[in-house]
């Protein structure tokens, strides 16, 4: 049976030495290295490369990392009962530069948290139950443990729940996508407008698999760029300028 939040909150995290690799050399990292004198968000998951972990859990924490850090968080740690080679490669594949990945290869930290579970029916052996926690100077301040039920529940250990705990009024940044093509001055202008207004964006560039036909199919327009904010089509660089002008007037 898993522990409940009341059993863990206010208690110190397990004292463990993690075996990691830095610049192709082994390096021991201790619990104190990770938590002492810091405010840390840690989320733990069943395994690198597994579906929910790769599609949602890690990517969303990576996406919201700047917002979490603006709320006083020093570091965001992803822990799994995997070895350092797997964790490091997964981080690279996920382009999760905002996250510190920690290999709990022997499951010592996870066992100390009472979160080590048997997933032998899947061929996984011992793995971590999914949870997240806010740790202040090595003490568990708040923990969100997924309900103990069949499968791999993912209801409370997500990044948005943690952000809401840190600041109930926080509004996550809207996702922004720009369809652009190399050498396009209007595309450069749209990107400059987004950046000057504090918006980070994903860029989809004209190339082998992205054509003007693709752009028309998605946006209904064949001119570059086309910008989407929060899933809504804003349009060209001129449309982006109007969007921000309207937002500024409404804020006055």
Reading phi first (left if > 0) and then psi (alpha if -120 to 50, else beta), residue 220 is in left
- Write out pLDDT tens, residues 200-226: 899 999 997 899 999 999 999 999 999
Torsion of CA 35, 83, 122, 13, to 10 degrees: -20
195 plus 136 within the same structural domain = no
60 plus 156 within the same structural domain = yes
92 plus 13 within the same structural domain = yes
C-alpha 112/C-alpha 59 separation (Å) is 26
- Write out pLDDT tens, residues 29-45: 999 999 999 999 999 99
Catalytic residue annotation: 53
121 plus 16 within the same structural domain = yes
In a domain, 68, yes or no: yes
Tokens of 237: 């660089």
Domain end: 132, 166, 200, which one? 166
17 plus 89 within the same structural domain = yes
Residue length, the chain? 252
Tokens of 25: 């050399």
CATH (domain of 235): 3.40.30.10
In a domain, 148, yes or no: yes
Domain end: 166, 184, 219, which one? 166
pLDDT score of 123: 94
pLDDT at 252 over 90: no
C-alpha 80/C-alpha 235 separation (Å) is 41
Domain end: 142, 166, 190, which one? 166
Q: Order of strands, edge to edge, in the sheet holding 100-103?
A: 100-103, 75-80, 39-45, 131-136, 139-145
Q: Which residues contact residue 118 at a Cβ distance below 8 angstroms, ignoring those fewer than 6 apart?
A: 125, 126
In a domain, 251, yes or no: no
C-alpha 147/C-alpha 206 separation (Å) is 44
In a domain, 252, yes or no: no
Task: Give the structural domain span for 233.
Answer: 176-246
Instruction: For the chain, report the end-to-end CA distance as a whole number of angstroms.
Output: 54
Mean pLDDT for all residues in the chain: 96
The total number of structural domains in the chain stands at 2
Tell me the whole-structure pTM to 2 decimals. 0.87
pLDDT score of 110: 98
Distance of CA 79 to the CA centre of its chain: 13
How many C-beta atoms lie closer than 10 Å to residue 247's C-beta? 10
């Amino acid at each position: 049976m898993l522990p409940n939040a009341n059993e863990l909150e206010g208690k110190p995290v397990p004292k463990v030495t993690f075996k990691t690799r830095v610049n192709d050399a082994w390096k021991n990292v201790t619990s104190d290295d990770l938590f002492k004198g810091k405010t840390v968000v840690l989320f733990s998951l069943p395994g690198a490369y597994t579906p929910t972990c790769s599609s949602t859990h890690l990517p969303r924490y990576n996406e919201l990392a700047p917002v979490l850090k603006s709320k006083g968080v020093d570091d965001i740690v992803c822990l799994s009962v995997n070895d350092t080679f797997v964790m490091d490669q997964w981080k690279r594949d996920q382009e999760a530069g905002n996250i510190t990945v920690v290999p709990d290869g022997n499951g010592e930290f996870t066992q100390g948290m009472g979160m080590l579970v048997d997933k032998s029916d899947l061929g996984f052996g011992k793995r971590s139950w999914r949870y997240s926690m806010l740790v202040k100077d090595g003490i568990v301040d708040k923990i969100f443990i997924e309900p103990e039920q069949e499968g791999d529940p993912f209801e409370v250990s997500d990044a948005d729940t943690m952000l809401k705990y840190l600041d109930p009024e926080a509004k996550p940044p809207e996702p922004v996508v720009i369809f652009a093509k190399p050498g396009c001055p209007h595309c450069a202008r749209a990107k400059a407008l987004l950046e000057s207004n504090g918006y980070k964006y994903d860029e989809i560039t004209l190339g082998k698999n992205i054509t003007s036909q693709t752009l028309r199919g998605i946006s209904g327009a064949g001119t570059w760029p086309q910008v989407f904010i929060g899933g809504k089509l804003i349009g060209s660089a001129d449309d982006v300028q109007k969007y921000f002008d309207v937002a500024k007037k409404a804020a006055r």
